[in-house]
Structure 1
């Protein structure tokens, strides 16, 4: 098992990311990583800064993005590796999602308040980036507000609770994700459109952490594969061993690339660390990604001897 390979992390260009792209690359190097990808939410604005830092640090680096999309009424995240980050489509995706997020912020605050949680809206707004409020910001303020100390809904997120490992993002999954009480619908592009955008612009399209979105649903994942994805993020902090085996088998059956990504954000996900995630055959997957990016005329910097 190898730990030098991490293709899913977020910088301060994501609303819930903590570190600048440059500092993130320094942390990658310090953690012993050798091949990395910055994949911010619906944005490639941090790609160039991370690329420059990666070159200086001797890291192999894939320009990347994580695109919110929808398929068969399910929300998914699609990772794109080796993309031409300055392509017009990625700027359009960021603009469209950001406009919706601004509008959704007020609704999110309203729905979370209706659940009975106390918080200072002023404190929440102060944490917002470019006017966007996300569930993780609300969670941080709510969990630190003594008015919520007796709220039983929050007990699993408190120290020692079953969901206390990453309390802020687990607040999102438990209360604000699709199907939950404080979910605010968004109009995302389809999975097929996201796959096309990535592949047309030199990239490799990989479905992120499907276990977190659909569990082990073979029918839906088979449909996702028909939409043209090149791979699945099998080795994820959101997947237990059974889920990893399930998606690893799917990749073997359909000859898809089985990637690895921590989904590191910083303080939003405090129990997730760079360089901690193991991949059983990282060198092989690295080679598969490099080959497919070359075939599509995509971009990457640095090269490992494999």
Structure 2
């Protein structure tokens, strides 16, 4: 079955390897008809991506991915159909981006302290947009310390490694409310990577109360069993099942752009939900103080 929908992709505006325009070119080559750009904590690539999508007759969905933390788990929340130019929303995600930049700087410092000599200036050059760990990994590859991005994560910058630095600890419920403050549709990202479906079930009531509208059920290399379990959970909590590849570029995630089937019904349901919010005054959001570690 040929897939035409990918609702989870990244560009150079955050930690993807392709510019928004090149990403849309790749989407067209893959036969996609619908694409959402969901960069981490930034909307800086959306205008370019929307223009590139129009030129290629691809239906474009403006999105974002907010990174959050619960205990030792890293939880991501996607947002779709954002009114992303709202000043209050932009001010908040700038705070989150600045925190990512400080995290990247500290990683480089720790690497240098351990005799791994890469420069912050080079990491910034590789990033172009918001800095992420893949850019530090690219610098490590370029400097010859590792052979691949995956090896950089395993040896130096993954959890428990010498240069790992925890992130700004925004909660998933906060991320849901932040996305809702821009009239966006919050969706839990790649839930099987969480501690388990039982743990997810414990979190869902609070997240639904905060405004969660979807559950990423068709994702990357999820098994049929994973997909069916998530679809059942989405139905139980009246959530829209969404999906995508989490495409960052070759060699970062195993699933190529557009290679995970996502039914167009997911897009239709998101569009219907977005239409109900359009033009409404969204709830205000106040960013909590970051957790000091």
Q: Which has the higher contact order (CA 8 A, sep 6+)?
A: 1
1:76 Cα deviation (Å)? 1.4
Which residue, out of 258, 265, 274, partners 2:241?
Answer: 258
In structure 2, what is the Cα distance between the partners aligned to 1:23 and 1:293? 27
Q: Paired residue for 1:194?
A: 175
* 1:184 is aligned to 2:184: no
Would the alpha carbon gap of residues 69 and 173 (structure 1) be closer, same or farther in structure 2, given more than 3 Å must change? farther
- 1:100 matched to 2:99? The reply is yes
1:266/1:219 CA distance change after superposition, 3 Å = closer
Distance in 1 separating the partners of 2:192 and 2:97: 26
Q: What is the deviation of 1:127?
A: 4.2
Q: Which runs of 5+ in 1 are unaligned?
A: 149-157, 159-166, 300-306
Alignment partner, residue 168 of structure 1: 149
Alpha-carbon distance change, 106 to 85 in structure 1, aligned in 2, over 3 angstroms: closer
| Residue equivalent to 1:62 | 61
The Cα of 1:72 is off from its aligned counterpart by 5.4
Distance 1:169 1:106, change over 3 A: same
- Summarize the alignment of residues 209-248 of structure 1 with structure 2, pairs less than 5 Å apart: 209-212=190-193, 214-228=194-208, 229-237=212-220, 239-248=222-231
Q: Which moved more, 1:200-209 or 1:100-109?
A: 100-109
CA distance 1:24–1:172, shift in 2 (3 Å): same
SS for the counterpart of 2:40 is coil
Deviations, residues 205-255 of structure 1 (Å, cap 9, x unaligned): 11111223x142412443144212211112211534443333222212222
Let me know the Cα RMSD of the aligned residues: 3.0
* Residue deviations 1:247-291 (CA, integer Å, cap 9, x gap): 222212222111111111224526432221113xx1321221111
Correspondences of 1:24-35 after superposition (within 5 Å): 24-35=23-34
| Length-normalised TM-score, structure 1 | 0.77
* Structure 2 residue ranges without an equivalent (≥5): 281-293
Partner of 1:304: none
Q: Is the 8 A contact 2:111 2:117 kept in 1?
A: no
Matched, 1:3 2:3: yes
Q: Deviations over 1:99-134 (max 9, x none)?
A: 2223222321244467x7845437853644369654
Aligned residue for 1:208?
Answer: 189
Match of 2:278? 297
Contact 2:118 2:139 in 1 (8 A): yes
1:99 is paired with a residue whose SS is helix
Q: Retained in 1: the 8 A contact 2:6–2:245? A: yes
Segment drifting more, 51-60 vs 216-225: 216-225
Provide closer, same or farther for how the CA distance between residues 44 and 225 of structure 1 changes in structure 2, counting only shifts above 3 A: farther
Match for residue 257 of structure 2 among 269, 274, 294: 274
Return closer, same or farther for 1:270/1:81 CA change in 2, 3 Å cut-off.
Answer: closer
Question: d(CA) in 2 for partners of 1:147 and 1:86?
Answer: 41
The 1:33–1:170 alpha-carbon spacing in structure 2 relative to 1, beyond 3 Å, is: farther
Q: What's the counterpart of residue 84 of structure 1? A: 83
